[in-house]
Structure 1
């Protein structure tokens, strides 16, 4: 296996575990990346003007796509679904940070994961 394949696998694991960590383990903990002054994910969605139910829908999609992305290590045909699906949702995250005028660094994790996902997607073409 060539070096780029190992890098793509590392990116899949990094993005997948990071998304699962945020949505399953850190959801009720404050972090410096949350929008506005939110302490939890639900509060963050309220800062953006969204409902708790919408938060749960996005959470379900992100967790599902993170699992799909990690499963794509074994099942290559899942790669584009996981990587491009997460890229779209992460672009929405960046847009919301811009709309509420957050400081730029709060968008950095989403931007970094979009870049990693686009590298993953390009490697599967």
Structure 2
């Protein structure tokens, strides 16, 4: 089970770091509304650009902490629960602007993975 949890941590962390650091200014089919980048996505949600950077800071930081929790288990729940809360917000924003359900799928999967990490 330990290796399974490590694998989940790696998948969640690397995926979120990819979204926030490598895909930030790129268009993907998962973006909210008709957004072509992360700033436009937050605008589609009716949120200011500063909130994008604030949420991004927390998602990147918590993703790094989730990776670090492989070696420092005491920070595991902080990282997993923090990410779960942020991912819940992501899902709610997609619902708020009436995005198709598939756009919430990555956040829902990562939310489930974070809850597994926190609860096991």
TM-based fold match above 0.5: yes
Which residues of 2 match residues 38-117 of structure 1 at below 5 A? 38-117=35-114
> What runs of 5+ residues in structure 1 fail to find an aligned partner?
none
Normalised by the length of structure 1, the TM-score is: 0.95
Q: Which residue number in structure 1 is paired with residue 119 of structure 2?
A: 122
Normalised by the length of structure 2, the TM-score is: 0.99
Aligned residue pair count: 120
Offset of 1:122 from its aligned partner? 1.2
Pair 1:15-2:15 in alignment: no
Q: Which residue number in structure 1 is paired with residue 28 of structure 2?
A: 31
Give 4+ residue runs of structure 1 displaced > 4 Å after superposition: none
> What runs of 5+ residues in structure 2 fail to find an aligned partner?
none
